[in-house]
């Protein structure tokens, strides 16, 4: 009965009891063929709760036994989602590509659409122009399968893509339609993510008061459904808005809360981002050991985390500007100039044109880091007339 109702519980709850109920079911099942659907169900819930390592244990146990093509394709797709959530994008892409033909042969249009949507999300995260066409293909499959839940999810991701491209009207339309679908199917988890994205859109538009209202609304939903990872992302984005607005105390508190959640769910990339922002804040406050946050953050990232690394470099530029000020105050203008040049080089790298556009154009994390840094430097210029400036960026 529980497994029959699982699809409803994933969307509408009971969120708190769902996982413990699946644990109880698995305790009662002994044969591999009986445990398989329960392991798949529990892995999905663990993944949605921001517990990818625990989900991977269930998926590996599932894949250790003979499965039909449909079940194997789903298990590989969920394992790919684990890798995607933990930042191993190339491994995730390989697993999605391996799952897709299995799902096609099994006639599982619903999961095919979800896999293609996730490939679109990876393309978006990598700054690839293929993201839009993958989302379009996924939406066709969602509608063919009557998969309203993932139609809403893909509309949410499409909204973020349109926002990144500066098409705010289209982004608002896609985001609003996504929220309507999430409400229609009772998908509070995805509704919270879509509201977070709308808050980001209002932040980019400069309507900060509305953005704060939406961030708070989204956090409330994330806590209700136990989505700790997106609770952390929402708190991080809210924190960055506060830092940009010179609300440093509140911004710092939100950063600490976000960082705690990222450590809890094992999200290394966003943890690095929060550490970078905290390091910039500590440097701005004149704390001498601020560099430790950057060193720790860099250790959490791998070479393919291009947007995160670039954002971290922009935050590190704040430390270098602060160090330049300190050295100038100690009558060491030569050394101060070298630090400023190093900081400027980091910023130049973020805004330099590339085949797919600059890093700032491709990645929201980089744009937000630049906005925070520009706001702080503008404040320094206004108050102390240091003469420091940043390159113009869109």
Chain centre distance of CA 227: 12
DSSP string, 113-171: HHHHHHHHHHHHHTT-TTHHHHHHHHHHHHHHHT-HHHHHHHHHHHHHHHHHTT-HHHH
Tell whether the model's pLDDT for residue 394 goes beyond 70: no
**Do the domain assignments include residue 136?**
no
Distance CA 62, CA 83 (A): 16
How many domains are contained in the chain?
Answer: 2
Distance CA 365, CA 387 (A): 26
Closest CA to 21 of 37, 42, 46: 42
**Do the domain assignments include residue 18?**
yes
Q: Domain end: 86, 107, 128, which one? A: 107
Q: How confident is the model at residue 388 (pLDDT cuts 50, 70, 90)?
A: very low
Q: Domain end: 78, 107, 136, which one? A: 107
**Do the domain assignments include residue 183?**
no
CATH number at residue 47: 1.25.40.10
Q: How many CB atoms lie within 10 A of CB 58?
A: 26
**Rounded average pLDDT over 280-297:** 91
Give residue for tokens 């999605």: 96
294-339 pLDDT, tens digit per residue, is: 999 999 998 878 899 999 999 999 899 888 888 887 878 888 899 9
61 burial (CB, 10 Å; 0-12 / 13-18 / 19+) is: middle
**Do the domain assignments include residue 323?**
yes
Q: Domain end: 69, 89, 107, which one? A: 107
pTM: predicted TM-score of the whole model, two decimal places: 0.76
Give the mean pLDDT of the chain.
Answer: 89
174-194 pLDDT, tens digit per residue, is: 999 999 999 999 889 899 999
**Do the domain assignments include residue 166?**
no
Distances 53 to 43, 63, 75, 186, 266 between C-alpha atoms, Å? 10, 15, 15, 27, 8
**Do the domain assignments include residue 101?**
yes
**Do the domain assignments include residue 159?**
no
Tell whether the model's pLDDT for residue 152 goes beyond 60: yes
The pLDDT value recorded for residue 180 is 96
Tell whether the model's pLDDT for residue 386 goes beyond 50: no
Beta strands in the chain (DSSP E): none
The pLDDT value recorded for residue 288 is 82
98-145 pLDDT, tens digit per residue, is: 999 999 999 999 999 999 999 999 998 887 889 999 999 999 999 999
Lowest mean pLDDT among 36-45, 195-204, 267-276: 36-45
Residues of the chain above pLDDT 90, percent? 58
Closest CA to 193 of 164, 162, 150: 150
Closest CA to 337 of 300, 382, 387, 291: 387
Find the angle CA(338)-CA(339)-CA(340) to the nearest 5 degrees: 90
**Domain of 306, in residue numbers:** 258-394
Q: Is 300 helix (H, G, I), strand (E, B) or coil?
A: helix
Residues of the chain above pLDDT 70, percent? 95
Angle separating helix axes 148-164 and 188-205, nearest 10 degrees = 20
- Do residues 49 and 227 touch, judged by C-beta distance below 8 A? yes
Q: How confident is the model at residue 391 (pLDDT cuts 50, 70, 90)?
A: very low
51-103 pLDDT, tens digit per residue, is: 888 889 989 988 988 889 999 999 999 999 989 887 788 999 999 999 999 99
**Do the domain assignments include residue 326?**
yes
Tell whether the model's pLDDT for residue 390 goes beyond 60: no
């Amino acid at each position: 009965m529980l497994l029959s109702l699982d699809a409803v519980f994933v969307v509408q709850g009971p969120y708190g009891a769902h996982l413990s109920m699946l644990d109880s079911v698995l305790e009662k099942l002994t044969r591999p063929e009986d445990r398989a659907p329960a392991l798949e169900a529990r892995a999905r819930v663990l993944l949605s709760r921001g517990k990818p390592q625990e989900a991977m244990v269930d998926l590996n146990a599932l894949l250790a036994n003979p499965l039909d093509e449909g079940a194997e394709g789903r298990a590989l797709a969920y394992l790919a989602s684990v890798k995607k959530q933990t930042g191993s994008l190339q491994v995730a892409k390989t697993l999605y590509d391996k799952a897709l033909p299995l799902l096609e042969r099994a006639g599982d249009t619903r999961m095919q659409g979800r896999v293609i949507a996730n490939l679109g999300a990876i393309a978006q995260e990598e700054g690839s122009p293929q993201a839009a066409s993958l989302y379009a293909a996924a939406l066709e499959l969602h509608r063919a399968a009557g998969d309203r839940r993932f139609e809403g999810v893909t509309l949410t991701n499409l909204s973020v893509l349109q926002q990144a491209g500066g098409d705010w009207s289209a982004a608002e339309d896609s985001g609003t339609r996504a929220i309507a679908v999430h409400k229609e199917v009772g998908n509070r988890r995805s509704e919270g993510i879509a509201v977070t994205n709308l808050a980001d859109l209002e932040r980019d538009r400069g309507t900060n008061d509305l953005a704060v209202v939406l961030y708070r609304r989204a956090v409330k939903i994330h806590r209700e459904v136990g989505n700790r990872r997106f609770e952390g992302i929402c708190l991080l984005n809210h924190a960055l808005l506060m830092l940009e607005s010179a609300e440093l105390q509140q911004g710092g508190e939100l950063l600490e809360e976000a960082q705690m959640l990222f450590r809890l769910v094992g999200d290394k990339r966003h943890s690095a981002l929060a550490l970078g922002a905290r390091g910039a804040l500590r440097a701005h406050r004149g704390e001498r050991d601020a560099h430790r946050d950057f060193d720790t953050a860099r250790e959490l990232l791998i070479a393919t985390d291009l947007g995160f690394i670039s954002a971290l470099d922009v935050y590190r530029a704040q430390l270098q500007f602060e160090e330049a000020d300190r050295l100038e105050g100690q009558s060491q203008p030569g050394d101060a100039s070298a630090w400023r040049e190093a900081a400027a080089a980091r910023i130049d790298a973020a805004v330099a044109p590339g085949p797919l556009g600059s890093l700032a154009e491709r990645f929201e994390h980089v744009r937000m880091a630049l906005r925070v840094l520009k706001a702080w430097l503008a404040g320094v210029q206004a108050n102390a007339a240091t003469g420091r400036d940043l390159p113009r960026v869109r």
